[in-house]
A and B are shown apart, each in its own frame.
Chain A
Amino acid sequence: DAGVIQSPRHEVTEMGQEVTLRCKPISGHDYLFWYRQTMMRGLELLIYFNNNVPIDDSGMPEDRFSAKMPNASFSTLKIQPSEPRDSAVYFCACRLVGNEQFFGPGTRLTVL
Chain B
Amino acid sequence: AQSVTQLGSHVSVSEGALVLLRCNYSSSVPPYLFWYVQYPNQGLQLLLKYTSAATLVKGINGFEAEFKKSETSFHLTKPSAHMSDAAEYFCAVSRGGAAGNKLTFGGGTRVLVKP
Contacts and interface: CB of A to CB of B under 8 A. Distances in A.
26 contacts: A4-B43, A42-B105, A42-B107, A42-B108, A43-B44, A43-B90, A43-B108, A45-B102, A45-B103, A50-B101, A56-B102, A91-B43, A93-B43, A93-B44, A95-B101, A100-B34, A100-B46, A100-B49, A101-B103, A102-B46, A103-B44, A104-B43, A105-B41, A105-B43, A106-B42, A106-B43
Given A100-B49, A105-B42, A33 B101 contact: yes
Interface string A24-57: 0000000101000000001101001010000110
Interface string B34-70: 1010000111111001000000000000000000000
Interface string B11-35: 0000000000000000000000010
Contacts of A102: 46
Chain B interface residue bracket vs A = 10 to 19
Contacts of B44: 43, 91, 93, 103
Nearest to B45: A103
Interface residues of A, number: 20
A98 B95 CA distance: 11
A92 to B, nearest CB: 9
A96 to B, nearest CB: 12
A103 B34 CA distance: 14
Interface string A79-112: 0000000000001010100001111111000000
Contacts of B42: 105-106
A4 B49 CA distance: 20
Given A91-B44, A103-B45, 14 more contacts: A4-B43, A42-B108, A43-B90, A55-B101, A56-B101, A91-B43, A95-B101, A100-B46, A100-B49, A103-B36, A103-B44, A106-B41, A106-B42, A106-B43
